[in-house]
């Protein structure tokens, strides 16, 4: 249940922060606009931090279950999501610079690069979590497979963004990113109302 709530919190926070921040940093006189709308901008920054902390919390919530199933995967997943959270907090430094310095272009580039790296690390973490959920039958197979495919699609989107082939929020980015975000909401609801299915994890599945 905790993991499910954190999935929703992380996704809602990042979507809300992007809805607030993206239009602001796209304005011609970005620093003037940000300073003029300081309160709303700070809210967007705080939401990015909430997303980072919630993302790390998901791995903490999953750790005992993954530890019982595969003691290599549990710390690997926790480490990746901790790195993701650290990058997420670091990304906010670029946003804060918009309020404290005149380096507007650098601040935005720094934030976008950090956010792109965050998405890459998150994508890699899905390649640990969803195969584990599938292998040990902790949730319905459709959620595991859907999450794995969505994670791979997001990884492709992140690579294209970092290579400068597409932009954040472009049609291609949206198409490639949407499946994993929808999946995480579906998985979150399943975890909240049904939880993980430990009754099917016998010795053949590898869980204790």
pLDDT tens digits for range 3-49 = 999 999 999 998 899 899 988 888 888 888 888 899 999 999 999 99
The span from the first CA to the last CA of the chain, in angstroms, equals 20
What pLDDT is stored for residue 60 in this prediction? 96
97 pLDDT band (50/70/90 cuts)? confident
Pairwise CA distance, residues 174 & 186, whole Å? 18
pLDDT category at 51 given cuts 50, 70, 90 is very high
Q: For position 52, what pLDDT does the model report? A: 93
Q: What is the pTM of this model?
A: 0.88
Above pLDDT 70, what percent of the chain?
A: 95
What does the alpha-carbon distance between residue 155 and residue 171 come to, in Å, rounded to a whole number? 16
**Helix, strand, coil fractions of the chain, as percent rounded to 5:** 80, 0, 20
Report pLDDT for 56.
94
């Amino acid at each position: 249940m905790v993991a499910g709530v954190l999935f929703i919190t992380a996704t809602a926070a990042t979507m809300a922060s992007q809805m607030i921040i993206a239009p602001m940093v796209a304005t011609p006189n970005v620093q003037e606009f940000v300073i003029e709308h300081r309160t709303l901008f700070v809210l967007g920054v705080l939401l990015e931090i909430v997303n980072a902390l919630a993302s790390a919390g998901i791995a903490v919530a999953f750790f005992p279950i993954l530890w019982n199933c595969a003691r290599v995967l549990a710390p690997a997943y926790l480490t990746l999501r901790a790195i993701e959270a650290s990058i997420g907090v670091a990304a906010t430094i670029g946003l804060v610079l918009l309020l404290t310095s005149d380096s507007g272009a650098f601040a935005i580039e720094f934030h976008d690069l950090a956010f792109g790296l965050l998405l890459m690390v998150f994508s890699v973490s899905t390649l640990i979590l969803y195969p584990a959920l599938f292998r040990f039958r902790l949730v319905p197979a459709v959620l595991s497979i859907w999450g794995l495919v969505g994670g791979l699609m997001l990884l492709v989107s992140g690579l294209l963004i970092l290579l400068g082939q597409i932009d954040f929020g472009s049609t291609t980015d949206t198409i490639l990113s949407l499946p994993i975000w929808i999946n995480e909401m579906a998985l979150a609801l399943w975890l909240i109302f049904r939880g993980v299915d430990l009754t099917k994890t016998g010795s053949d599945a590898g869980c204790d």
